[in-house]
């Protein structure tokens, strides 16, 4: 019987970053669905019979941004772990309290401060524990 690979969604508007993480997660044994915008990712979740085990989410994107995507996941009553991978510093005032995660996020990594291998390792940990909100 063929083993089902864990499904990861990458939501990133920068093509080179999206492709790099698609390749990295694929090589680590994940099935990857990558989207250039959050609206397409949202539509995939709405139509798919299988929820992803984790979403790797950029924040600043044209159209539906990462913050709005998090709110949409909540409206859909989805308990999918979300790792924010952004160049937006988490001390930025939009988060509210300094250093806190936006509602619906389980982890936050600054793109410039992590390697792709570190991102894969963090996603694996999130999946193992089912996100911090579960």
Which pLDDT tens digit goes with each residue over 79-107? 899 999 988 765 554 444 455 677 888 98
pTM for the predicted model, two decimal places: 0.89
For residue 88, the model assigns a pLDDT of 75
- Cβ atoms of 11 and 55 closer than 8 Å: yes
- Where do the domains of the chain lie? 7-129
User: If 0-12 CB within 10 Å is exposed, 13-18 middle and 19+ buried, where does residue 124 land?
Assistant: middle
Confidence of residue 134 (pLDDT cuts 50, 70, 90): very low
Which pLDDT tens digit goes with each residue over 30-78? 999 999 999 999 999 999 999 999 999 999 998 999 999 999 999 998 8
Helix (H) or strand (E) holding 15: helix 15-27
Just give the CATH number of 7-129. 3.40.50.2300
């Amino acid at each position: 019987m063929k083993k089902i690979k864990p499904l990861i969604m990458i939501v990133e508007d920068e093509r080179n970053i999206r492709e790099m993480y698609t390749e990295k997660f694929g090589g680590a044994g994940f099935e990857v669905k990558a989207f250039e915008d959050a609206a397409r990712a949202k539509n995939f979740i709405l139509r798919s019979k299988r929820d992803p085990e984790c979403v790797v989410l950029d924040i600043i994107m044209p159209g539906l941004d990462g913050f709005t995507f998090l709110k949409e996941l909540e409206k859909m009553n989805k308990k999918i772990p979300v790792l924010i991978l952004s160049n937006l510093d988490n001390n930025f005032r939009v988060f509210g309290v300094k250093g806190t995660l936006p509602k619906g996020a389980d982890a936050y990594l600054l793109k410039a401060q992590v390697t792709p291998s570190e991102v894969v390792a963090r996603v694996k940990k999130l999946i193992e524990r089912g996100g911090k909100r579960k």
